[in-house]
Each structure stands twice: as C-alpha cells, then as structure tokens.
Amino acid sequence: MDKKFSVVIAGGGSTYTPEVICTLLSELDRFPIRSIKLYDIDEERQNKIASACKILCHEIDPSIEFIATTDPKIAYTDVDFCLAHIRVGGLKMREKDEKIALKHGCVGQETCGPGGIAFAMRSIQGVLDNLDYMEKYSPNAWMLNYSNPAAIVAQAVSKLRPDSRIINICDQPIGLESAMAASIGVADRKEMTVRYFGLNHFGWWTDIRGKDDNDITDKAREYVLQNGFIAPDKMGKDTDDSWYKTYYKAKDVMAVDPTTIPNTYLKYYLYPDYEVAHSNPDYTRANEVMDGREKMVFSICETITKNGTTKGFDLVTGNHATFIIDLAYALSHGTYERMILIVKNEGAISNFADDAMVEIPCLVSKDRYERLSIGEIPTFQKGLMEQQNACEKLVSEAWIEGSYHKLWQAFTMNRCVPSAKVAKDLLDEYIEANKGYWPQLK
Ligand code: G6P
Ligand code: MN
C-alpha cells in the first residue's frame, strides 16, 4: 500500500486554509493522507476555520485524523510535511504596513516597498520558530513555506538555518502562467515549459514552450503587451478590482522591456508614483481583504459548523494549493517535476551573487531539487535585482544584528522610497507601530 502522509498547516487560521484542505482532500488518490493538523497561535481564529474543516474532512474520509491545536508539540510530532502560511500580526498589521507607507507618499503594499520590509521584520521570527519545532519533533519533515514576504524570509532563513529542510515558494508565477495559458489558447498551464528568473515578486519570463516544444513565447509576449494578464474570459469579472488593475498594469511594466514578460509585482518598483496616485490611503488592500475574503470565508465556515455539514457549498480547490501538493508529491515520489522555487542562486544566474535567494525553475525529485542553469541575465534586470537583493539582504542583516542603521539603509535602498529622509521617517513610525513584534534595534 502507498505511504499515507501526515501534514501540518502552520497558520491554520488563515483564510487560505480551507482551500488548501479542499485541494488535499481532492487529491487523495495521488497523495494519500492519514493526518491533517492545523497549528496557529491564535486559537479563537483557528477554531472558526477548523470546526468547518473537520466536518469536511470527516465527510470525505473519516479515517483521516483531524487535529487543530496551539501546542507545537502536538502539531509537529509525526508529520511529513509542514505547509506554512503564517502572517505574524495578522491583517490588522498588514493594514498598518500599507497605510504608514502611503502616509509618507510611498507604495503601500504587503510584500513590496516599505510595507514588505516592515512585514519581514515581524515574519522572520515566526518562520524560524515553526522551523525549529519541525526540526525538534519531526526532523525528516519538509517545510513548504509560502509565508510572506517570501523573498526576505528566504534570505534570513538561508543565513540562519542553512541546512534546514525548507523550500520557499510563491504561487504568483503559476497564477500568471494560468492567465497566459488561457490568453493564448493553451488548455492547461502544465502544458507549458517556461524559463523564468528573478527574486520573489521580482522576476521575468524569457521563454515559453507549448506541447512538442513549440515556441509560443512571441504569442504570449504579444498578448501581455496588449492586455496584461487579463485572459479573454476574465475581462471585467471574477477578480477584486485591485487585482484586475494589477493584471492590466503589467502591459505598462512590460513596455519598459518588451523582450521579457514581467511578474505583476514589478509595477510597484517601476511605477511607484502611479501606484501612490491611484491608492486610497484610508482604504488599502488589507481593508479589501478583511471586508471581502476574510468575511466570506468566516461566514461560510460558520454556516458549515452550524449545519454540521458542507452540503450546499461548492468545495473550492485552487491553483495555489495544487502547486503545493505537486511539490510535496514530487519530493516524496521523485518525479523530477519542473517547478519554480525560491532557492540559493549558487551560480544558476551566472552574473549574480551566489548567496542570493533567486526564483528560478528547478527539477524536484525525491528529497531534493536541482536548479536549472539560467546563464547571464541582461543589464536592466541585473541592475534592478542587485538593488532589490541588497535591500533584502540589509533587512535580513538588520534583523539578525538588531541594527537600526542597516534597516535605515534598507529603506533608503528600496526603489519605492524617494530619499534617506523619508526612509528614516518611515523607519521611526514602523518601529512604534511594531512594538512587541520587531526585535529591539540599536
Ligand atoms: C499572491 C502572492 C502572494 C500574496 C497574495 C496576496 O498570491 O503570490 O504572495 O500573499 O497574492 O493576495 P491578497 O488577496 O491577500 O492581496
Ligand atoms: Mn507570493
């Protein structure tokens, strides 16, 4: 009989947890499961999600053990995989990250610009804590980490826990590949083989192949240059307004270098003035998420719990969760699946720092992955990436050393911050707002 896996979801109270569980339960043929555990430090929040997920889990397969806990020992004992999507400080702190930046005339975004730096200073300890629990209670497990801001978290973890079994991932490239596939008439993103390089939330596609190695790069390029990542069937529906605008804005980002296809997140670095002008400093993406997805997920969970059944609800599976399960499957079954991961460069991009955490295609096999060689990258991307990597490295060093000065340099270095003066004002206000979350800075 196939091995059955035990999985812990760190950040059990996340609005993404039900989707991850639905996807896990829809893939049991391929990836059999014996135990699903939810772990969170916020018991009340997690219970709201867990009570509904438990009902769902029992309906699909009553033999699967389902546990929700705030005890790390229970959570991390006897697990094969940890799927980590924690958010230290919750959406309330995301709101502060975004609004403080905008108050100072800078891009207010959860992972990019000043908000991303502030978030990183909270996140690093949380991810390290979870990694340490995993290593203590299940040393052979893998952590598949998509806790944000993934770029800086990956940077700090690679420095502090260089030998840990952690792989950092992001669903944005595959989400955008799905949109590209739909736009150019490819049935499934998995039919495409891509070349991509960058840092997390900071990368570019250079080559897209369809079935039979057919080169469809130009077709994809032409589409994105005209329409961004808005697939024909998505014109005007389905997504929140802010994401719709982001997908569309990719065409302007791409205009700067039409030879490559950019990740949507580059808009914050290439058009920060436009972003600020089109943001509402009193109502940011955090508010949209709290009023939208968060309310909706909690209300569905509440109804399921009250009814004692999931009947009447469509179970949603997602690209994002499928990608995580594909990765767990590849690591456990040795499939050599080609996947975009955030890994130490170590020469894959030949003209870029060896110790940088880059996002590139890798081949994933049993308990390991191999980087695909990217070779030399062009001056435009290299320059941008070097500045961004230096910024992220300074944040990581500032966290490790408790250095006020390095963090000031990091804010100053960021393309979303116009001057050292604004950088200092931002830093001082974030320190106040993050009391109890950030390490003490000297
Ligand atoms: C994408 C990114 C994630 C990010 C999420 C935010 O999926 O890859 O890193 O967390 O968007 O979405 P939200 O709907 O919370 O703004
Ligand atoms: Mn991401």
Written as one string, the DSSP assignment of 191-207 is G-EEEEEEETTEEEEEE
pLDDT in tens, 71-113: 999 999 999 999 999 999 999 999 999 999 999 999 999 999 9
- Per-residue pLDDT band for 236 (boundaries 50, 70, 90) equals low
Q: What are phi and psi of 312, to 5 degrees?
A: 95, -10
If you measure from the C-alpha of residue 200 to the centroid of ligand 2, how many angstroms do you get, rounded to a whole number?
Answer: 7
If you measure from the C-alpha of residue 151 to the centroid of ligand 2, how many angstroms do you get, rounded to a whole number?
Answer: 9
Closest residue CA from atom 10 of ligand 1:
148
Query: Is the Cβ atom of 395 under 6 angstroms away from ligand 1?
Result: no
Query: Which of ligand 1's atoms lies nearest the C-alpha of 242?
Result: 16
Q: Rounded to whole angstroms, what are the CA distances from 104 to 310, 428, 435?
A: 46, 12, 20
CA distance 24 to 26: 5
| Identity of residue 227 | N
Q: What are phi and psi of 332, to 5 degrees?
A: -95, -25
pLDDT at 235 over 60: no
- Per-residue pLDDT band for 234 (boundaries 50, 70, 90) equals low
Specify the pLDDT at position 237. Answer: 52
DSSP for residue 41? S
Q: Rounded to whole angstroms, what are the CA distances from 249 to 53, 264, 302?
A: 37, 8, 37
DSSP for residue 106? S
**Does the bond joining 18 to the residue before it have cis omega, within 30 degrees of 0?**
no
Cβ 152 vs Cβ 413: under 8 Å:
no
Place of tokens 């909690």: 298
pTM of the model: 0.97
| Identity of residue 192 | M
Place of tokens 């032409």: 222
Residue 238 corresponds to which tokens in the numbers above? 């389905």
Query: Is the Cβ atom of 340 under 6 angstroms away from ligand 1?
Result: no
**Of 16, 88, 92, 110, which is best to mutate to test ligand 1, by the most ligand atoms within 8 angstroms of its C-beta?**
110
3-class DSSP state for residue 35?
A: strand
Catalytic residue list: 171, 265
pLDDT at 333 over 90: yes
- Per-residue pLDDT band for 316 (boundaries 50, 70, 90) equals confident
Closest residue CA from atom 1 of ligand 1:
172
**Of 15, 107, 171, which is best to mutate to test ligand 1, by the most ligand atoms within 8 angstroms of its C-beta?**
171
CA distance 413 to 411: 5
| Identity of residue 12 | G
Q: Rounded to whole angstroms, what are the CA distances from 394 to 206, 412, 414, 436?
A: 29, 10, 11, 21
Query: Which of ligand 1's atoms lies nearest the C-alpha of 172?
Result: 8
